[in-house]
Chains A and B, each alone.
Chain A
Amino acid sequence: MSGNLSRRKFLAAGATVAAGSLAAPWIARAQANEITALLITGGPLYPKYWEKIVQDFTAKTGIKVRYDLLEFTPLTSKVVTLSAARSSQYDVYSTHTAQIDSYFSHFAPLNSYFSESELADFYPVAVKYLRDPKNGNLAAIPRNMDARVQYYRSDIYQEKGLKPAETWEELVDVGLKLTGNGHYGLVVPGQGDPAQRTFSDLLWQAGGDWVDQANKPAFNSEAGIKALTFYRDLVQKHKIVPPDAVGYQWNENSTEFSSGTVYANFDWPGAFATLSNPDTSRVVGKWSTAPYVRDKASISCAISHAMALNGQSGRKDPAVEFIKFTVGPEAQRLQFDQFTNFPSSQAIAKEVIAAAKGPQATWLQQLETTIANGKEWPKLPGFSKVCTLMFSAIEQALTDQVSPSDSLNQAAVEAEDTMRRAGAYD
Chain B
Amino acid sequence: MSSIPQNRVSGRRRRSPLPYTWQKGYLLAGPAFVVMLAIFVYPLGYSFLMSFFRWDLSGSAPFIGTGNYTDELFGRQFNQALRNQIIFSVVSITVEVVAGMAIAVLVNGELRGMRLARTLLLVPPMIAPAVVGLNFRWLFNTQYGLVDALLRMFNLPNIPWLSDPTWALVSVIIADVWQNTPLMVLLFLAGLQSLPQEPLEAATVDGAGPWQRFWHIVLPLMRPVIMIALMLRIIDTFRTFDVVWLMTQGGPGGASNLLTVYAYLLAFQAVDFGHAAAVSYIALGMSLVVLGLLYGVPWLIAKRRAI
Given that A6-B18, A247-B248, A414-B76 are contacting pairs, would A385 and B272 also be in contact in the complex, using a CB cutoff of 8 Å?
yes
Given that A191-B252, A244-B141, A385-B270 are contacting pairs, would A410 and B57 also be in contact in the complex, using a CB cutoff of 8 Å?
no
Binds A, one of B115-123, B158-166, B229-237: B158-166
Among residues 255 to 286 in chain A, which have CB atoms less than 8 Å away from a CB atom of chain B?
261
B300 to chain A: closest CB distance in Å? Answer: 40
For B254, what are the chain A residues with a Cβ–Cβ distance below 8 Å? Answer: 392, 395-396
Among residues 24 to 44 in chain B, which have CB atoms less than 8 Å away from a CB atom of chain A?
26-27, 30, 33-34, 38
B175 to chain A: closest CB distance in Å? Answer: 14
Check B211 for interface membership: any CB of A closer than 8 A: no
A235 to B54, CA, bound (A): 38
Contact call B26/A247, Cβ cutoff below 8 A: no
Q: Is the interface of B mostly helix, strand, loop or mixed?
A: loop
Among residues 244 to 270 in chain B, which have CB atoms less than 8 Å away from a CB atom of chain A?
248-249, 251-255, 265-270
For B38, what are the chain A residues with a Cβ–Cβ distance below 8 Å? Answer: 18
Contact call B26/A10, Cβ cutoff below 8 A: yes
CB < 8 Å: which of B54, B55, B77, B255 contacts A401? B255
Contact call B271/A247, Cβ cutoff below 8 A: no
Q: Is the interface of A mostly helix, strand, loop or mixed?
A: helix
Check A421 for interface membership: any CB of B closer than 8 A: yes
Check B242 for interface membership: any CB of A closer than 8 A: no
For A395, what are the chain B residues with a Cβ–Cβ distance below 8 Å? Answer: 251-254
Contact call B270/A396, Cβ cutoff below 8 A: no
CB < 8 Å: which of B18, B77, B251 contacts A246? B251
Check B143 for interface membership: any CB of A closer than 8 A: yes
For A59, what are the chain B residues with a Cβ–Cβ distance below 8 Å? Answer: none
Contact call B252/A247, Cβ cutoff below 8 A: yes
For B143, what are the chain A residues with a Cβ–Cβ distance below 8 Å? Answer: 182, 242, 244, 261
Given that A7-B18, A102-B271, A396-B253 are contacting pairs, would A246 and B57 also be in contact in the complex, using a CB cutoff of 8 Å?
no
Contact call A105/B58, Cβ cutoff below 8 A: yes
A266 to B58, CA, bound (A): 34
Contact call B142/A398, Cβ cutoff below 8 A: no
Binds B, one of A60-68, A77-85, A296-304: A77-85
For B17, what are the chain A residues with a Cβ–Cβ distance below 8 Å? Answer: 3-6
B37 to chain A: closest CB distance in Å? Answer: 8
Check A137 for interface membership: any CB of B closer than 8 A: no
Nearest chain A residue, comparing its CB with the CB of B50: A84
Given that A6-B15, A14-B30, A80-B57 are contacting pairs, would A384 and B23 also be in contact in the complex, using a CB cutoff of 8 Å?
no
Other than the given A99-B269, A102-B271, A399-B164, 4 more pairs (CB < 8 A) read A10-B18, A10-B23, A105-B58, A385-B271
Q: Can you identify 24 A-B contacts, CB atoms within 8 angstroms?
A: A2-B23, A3-B17, A4-B17, A5-B18, A18-B34, A99-B271, A104-B58, A105-B59, A182-B143, A191-B249, A192-B249, A193-B269, A246-B251, A246-B252, A247-B251, A381-B58, A385-B270, A385-B272, A388-B266, A388-B270, A396-B254, A398-B253, A399-B163, A422-B58
